[in-house]
Amino acid sequence: GAGVSQTPSNKVTEKGKYVELRCDPISGHTALYWYRQSLGQGPEFLIYFQGTGAADDSGLPNDRFFAVRPEGSVSTLKIQRTERGDSAVYLCASSERAGGLTDTQYFGPGTRLTVL
Amino acid sequence: AQSVTQLGSHVSVSEGALVLLRCNYSSSVPPYLFWYVQYPNQGLQLLLKYTSAATLVKGINGFEAEFKKSETSFHLTKPSAHMSDAAEYFCAVTSMEYGNKLVFGAGTILRVKS
């Protein structure tokens, strides 16, 4: 079956611009996660959705970052006034159940964001 | 605090040799542990996970890992390396204390020499 997909695969933008990154989770998966992976580091948690609501947004670095999942499926990560330090690979993952600590998180290929 | 340490950012082995990638975690409550592999330009793929059912966990592609509570370790091994094993490997931990988020180590790049 189809896995997690993310668009675009690459995004180059200028400092100060607004960007949106899209994630299509595996069909039927209740939980959705966003992570950010900087060069040479492991993924870092940003936000977790149970259905439509953000259950944990403690990883969002500041108020320039926002994410939505209005219908409990597709999610969009929005970054305002981008800064060069936002450059990273943004990863999306989904898992079958909300609250399932042992559930496998299935990752998408990521969106590579470059802020010039 | 919960964290993951992967000793060795780069590991090089010869084809057919033992692969050992080290992972140590810290957690104040019982952890659940995962190993993911990332091939170039691909997403993270689960190799195996420890969910408290058995301390020795077998995964895909001949990999296995053993949970050792006394050592707070979850090292990944494979008896005989194959060229196709060359990739970056990430250890991750979660627990009740930190909800559903995975906390990842910095990763280990495995190089397999012919």
CB-nearest partner of B101 from A4, A45, A98: A45
For residue range B72-90, list pLDDT tens digits in order: 999 999 999 999 999 999 9
Q: What is the mean pLDDT of residues A53-82?
A: 95
Identify which of B9, B34, B101 has the shortest CB distance to residue A56. B101
Task: Please give the C-alpha separations between residue A55 and each of A51, A70, A105, in angstroms, as whole numbers.
Answer: 9, 14, 16
Is A33's CB within 8 Å of B46's CB? no
User: pLDDT confidence of B97, banded at 50, 70, 90?
Assistant: confident
| A1: confidence class by pLDDT, cuts 50, 70, 90 | low
Nearest Cα residue to A46 out of A15, A75, A16, A4 = A75
Query: Mean pLDDT over residues B1-15, rounded?
Result: 90
DSSP structural state of residue B12: E
Bigger pLDDT: B94 vs B41: B94
CB contact (8 A) between residue A48 and residue B99: yes
- Using CA coordinates, name the residue in chain A closest to B48: A104
B42·A109 Cβ contact <8 A: yes
Residue A16 has pLDDT above 60, yes or no: yes
pLDDT above 90 covers a percentage of chain B that reads: 80
Residues on chain A touching B42 (C-beta within 8 angstroms) = 109
To the nearest whole percent, how much of chain A has pLDDT over 90?
A: 87
Query: Is B5 at the interface with chain A, CB within 8 A?
Result: no
Give A2's contacts (C-beta < 8 A, 6+ positions apart): A26, A27
> How many whole angstroms separate alpha carbon A112 and alpha carbon A91?
9
Q: Please give the pLDDT value at position A101.
A: 84
User: Which residue in B9, B41, B51 is closest to A102 by CB distance?
Assistant: B51
Nearest CA in chain A to B99: A101
pLDDT, position B41: 80
* Average pLDDT score, chain B: 93
- Tell me the average pLDDT across B92-111: 90
SS3 call for A41: coil
Nearest by Cα to B105 from B18, B31, B14: B31
User: Residue B46: its chain A contacts at CB < 8 A?
Assistant: 104-106
Tokens of A37: 């992976």
pLDDT in tens, A29-54: 999 999 999 998 999 999 999 999 99
Query: B88: phi > 0 → left, psi -120 to 50 → alpha, else beta; which?
Result: beta
